[in-house]
Structure 1
């Protein structure tokens, strides 16, 4: 009989952990493609319980954050930074199916929220617009000076014509 529960190695937790690889396979079987797995190096403490976080990133940009306790059990699951209560806590395969179901149900809302997020361009990306604008302003100033010079010349010529007549 296949093992249904995953036991994580809390003290040697890495991307190469057997439980993380199994979890990735279970996610794939449930219909979610795991694009990345990150093990956060810090140990956190919540209500006196120490835990480490494993983040699964999926092809549709959704993330699942799993809090692994010191005993190797899953203590907390967050889907897109929101706590997700799991009904099948004793059967990790069923729990992963639950998580994938929640991802499928919230996918449309999540994608809509992603489209509303405004991303600022990094300062290293620059456009030529300010330089072009400055150059055009300089050209306009030169043309305005030429027009003023021509108007003054017209006034002088009109005065000469008036004196000659």
Structure 2
């Protein structure tokens, strides 16, 4: 067969050769969970990922797998989006090799140490979700509590009215103290 460098192999032939002889190149193969070609909502690997997330304590309530292959920085990937019970969203970008390319937690890109060991990567993602849960919930609460610009509150007017009541009461107290002082003097 000769060496790969001496022949002009097509992309398919090179990929087939590499996958057949993967043990020659990488003897410490880690746990791979995703298959790039068959990745879908009903795929076994997606169901396994959800099972691992649930075991780690992050309940997945919705999942979506994008059917389109996207490219960034010359790397082809597919996206799997998971929505959790606390409204946090994780988007996992999976390369053609089945490794995790990037992870977005609540639309923010976060680094993952174990990109090729998916069980450890899921544990790492769950840790990030738990660490950022309080901040995310506060952000949601602020987003819900914003008052539209057209609505005005009566707080500034009430402050003026309360200040006027305070001055009126202090004047009344001063007047009563004068009456008491005159009554004691007489």
With the shorter chain as reference, the TM-score category is 0.5 to 0.7
Partner of 1:99: 125
CA distance in 1, matches of 2:124, 2:85: 18
Gaps of at least 5 residues in structure 1 are 120-165
After superposition, what is the alpha-carbon deviation per residue over 1:66-92, rounded to whole angstroms, capped at 9, x for unaligned?
A: 001122221111111111111233422
CA distance in 2, matches of 1:33, 1:51: 25
| Structure with greater strand percent | 1
CA distance in 2, matches of 1:88, 1:74: 9
CA distance in 2, matches of 1:117, 1:24: 29
Indicate if the aligned counterparts of 1:4 and 1:93 stay in contact, CA closer than 8 A: no
Indicate if the aligned counterparts of 1:6 and 1:23 stay in contact, CA closer than 8 A: no
Q: Say if 2:141 is the partner of 1:115.
A: yes
Q: Say if 2:111 is the partner of 1:85.
A: yes
Trace 1:13-162 onto structure 2 (pairs within 5 A): 13-118=39-144
* Cα distance change of structure 1 residues 91 and 71 upon mapping to structure 2, 3 Å threshold: closer
After superposition, what is the alpha-carbon deviation per residue over 1:97-145, rounded to whole angstroms, capped at 9, x for unaligned?
A: 11111101100110111122259xxxxxxxxxxxxxxxxxxxxxxxxxx
Indicate if the aligned counterparts of 1:8 and 1:17 stay in contact, CA closer than 8 A: no
Gaps of at least 5 residues in structure 2 are 1-28, 146-186
Matched residues, number: 118
Partner of 1:139: none
The normalised TM-score by structure 2 is 0.58
Q: State which drifts further: 92-101 or 3-12.
A: 3-12
